[in-house]
Amino acid sequence: MIPLKDDNPSRSFPAVTISLIVLNVLVFLADLSLQGRLSKIYAMRPGYVTHYPMEMLPGGVPVWATLFTMMFLHGGIMHLGGNMLFLWIFGNNTEDTLGHFRFLLFYLVCGLAASALQILFSPNSTVPTVGASGAIAGVLGAYYYLFPDSRVTTLVFIVIFWTVIEIPARVVLGLWFLMNLYNTLLSTAATLNHAEQGGVAFAAHVGGFVAGLLLIRLMAPRRQPRFRTYEQPKFFDDQWR
């Protein structure tokens, strides 16, 4: 399933969401022009973070800082495009709820939580990890909590056929989470069998989603109904106080 858009209009301009998308695209283009040098140097490698956190990388960046730099690096155009599509669809409403500054803080904290779980699952791995997926997974967790009944226009593939249908956000995001949880368990089993795993950091996706689901409960203001079908007259309140 590939989400295309939602039916949940934003009430404010998503400045941070758009800025993050632009920044990710610019970093990707810079990395492309340098033949992937940025990704090679500033990717997060769990084993380096756990064993050599204070060692300096080229450019005077400590190894621990790759927990942040990896959020703005991507392994290819499909990786970038998929992440930015999810951020655009689900980020604007989350930013609208939290406000610009709190949304940026929320995004970064979820990214750190995602990396922390990835390190926990593979503390000695030297496989480079890049991508905004963990931070965006946090946004998905927040959206799941805030707008579970929003309708998401989704491209669905059935064997060789495809169709476009509207699906509740709770279903789209719930299935996304379960798929990543399943793949995390498979990756963990492979690691226990001493098979070095590369590819998608599924544990980071799970960690980011759970972090977003928990953190949004602390950071979001008390939710109010988006639309009111009946406005109670003020004089009615006054009579019964």
The residues carrying an active-site annotation are 133, 205
If we measure between CA atoms, which residue out of 161, 210, 15, 36 comes closest to residue 99? 15
Query: CA of 142: how far to CAs of 19, 32, 172, 191, 208, in Å?
Result: 19, 32, 14, 30, 10
DSSP string for 101-150: HHHHHHHHHHHHHHHHHHHHH-TT----B--SHHHHHHHHHHHHHH-TT-
Q: How many CB atoms lie within 10 A of CB 112?
A: 18
Provide the pairing of β-strand 161-168 with 61-62: unpaired
What are 86's two structure tokens? 């999810």
